[in-house]
Amino acid sequence: MIPLGDDNPTIRVPVVTIFVLVAMFAVWVLVQGAGMDDGLLAASVCNLGMVPGELTRMAPIGSGVPIGPDLACVIDNQRINALTPVLSMFLHGGWMHIIGNALFLWVFGNNVEDVVGRRRFLAFYSICGLAAAAAHVAVDPRSPIPTVGASGAVSGVMGAYLVLFPKVRVRMLFVLVVFIRVIALPAWLVLAYWFALQLLSGLPELLSPSPELSGGVAFWAHVGGFLAGVLLAKLFENPELARRHRRVLEAQDGFDALA
């Protein structure tokens, strides 16, 4: 299922959401070479991506993990490692990776920012990203595998959306072989299904941590970020902005009911 949009108008331009999206693509193009150079992409992931074993210092320095033909990431103890939980939020492993994260952030982030406020949303997004990183490290603190992507922070945004707008309908694209259709579903159903999928997919890794079991996807970062979003949504919500947003949403629902 791919989200295309929602029936949830915004009152203000989502400045922070747009800023984060621009920053993600700027880093992808300027720092990672838009994935056109395998060596540059690998270097950015290895040097700036978050490696649990480097943060916990439980992975032997000098040991390496292959990430491609004649390419390997080597464990080190450089000072920049302490910043990788933040830096990794703006790095990605491929075009589909960044486009997927950008799409989910745009569909769900603009409305969360609308009721949280711009400064609070930036703090909220960052905290959810760090919570996701902590969850990923906690599951396998010895892992030498670098992790990159905004999906942990975006998961937090999705968790907040579940709390703030559970009944709003989200337009989802379903693609199954030759069956292609757009179906509007309530947000609680879409997001609950997505969370359950992450949870079930991550269980094998929890029982026996291994990158092969997860297919390289940080499922527990998704789970940790989502739960952080659920728990922090009401704490970060701005009551006045929420009331204004609710009035606009109710007016739209009333119009739709009369149409």
Over the stretch 104-163, which tens digit does the pLDDT of each residue have? Answer: 999 999 999 999 999 999 999 999 999 999 999 999 899 999 999 999 999 999 999 999
Q: Is the pLDDT reported for residue 210 higher than 80?
A: no
| Percent of the chain clearing pLDDT 70 (strictly above) | 93
Asked if residue 245 lies in contact with residue 144, where contact means CB atoms within 8 angstroms, the answer is: no
**pLDDT for the residue 258:** 36
Structure tokens at 144: 């030498």
Residue listed under structure tokens 């700036």:
48
Q: Is the pLDDT reported for residue 249 higher than 90?
A: no
204-232 mean pLDDT: 78
Pairing relationship of beta strands 71-74 and 179-186 according to DSSP bridges? unpaired
**pLDDT for the residue 203:** 85
C-alpha 176/C-alpha 151 separation (Å) is: 24
Strand partners, 72: 66
Top-level class of domain 2-258 = mainly alpha
**pLDDT for the residue 259:** 33
**pLDDT for the residue 215:** 47
Q: Is the pLDDT reported for residue 257 higher than 70?
A: no
Residue 75's SS3 state is coil
Residue 27's SS3 state is helix
**pLDDT for the residue 63:** 85
pTM of the model: 0.91
Residue listed under structure tokens 């006045």:
240
**pLDDT for the residue 253:** 65
Closest CA to 160 of 234, 251, 214: 234
| Residue 248 CB neighbour total at 10 angstroms | 14
Q: Is the pLDDT reported for residue 205 higher than 90?
A: no
Q: Is the pLDDT reported for residue 254 higher than 70?
A: no
Half-sphere exposure of 203 (CA within 13 A, CB side): 6
**pLDDT for the residue 216:** 58
Give residue 213's pLDDT band: very low, low, confident or very high (50, 70, 90).
very low
Asked if residue 194 lies in contact with residue 100, where contact means CB atoms within 8 angstroms, the answer is: no
User: Hey, where are the domains in the chain?
Assistant: 2-258
**pLDDT for the residue 18:** 98
Strand partners, 184: 171
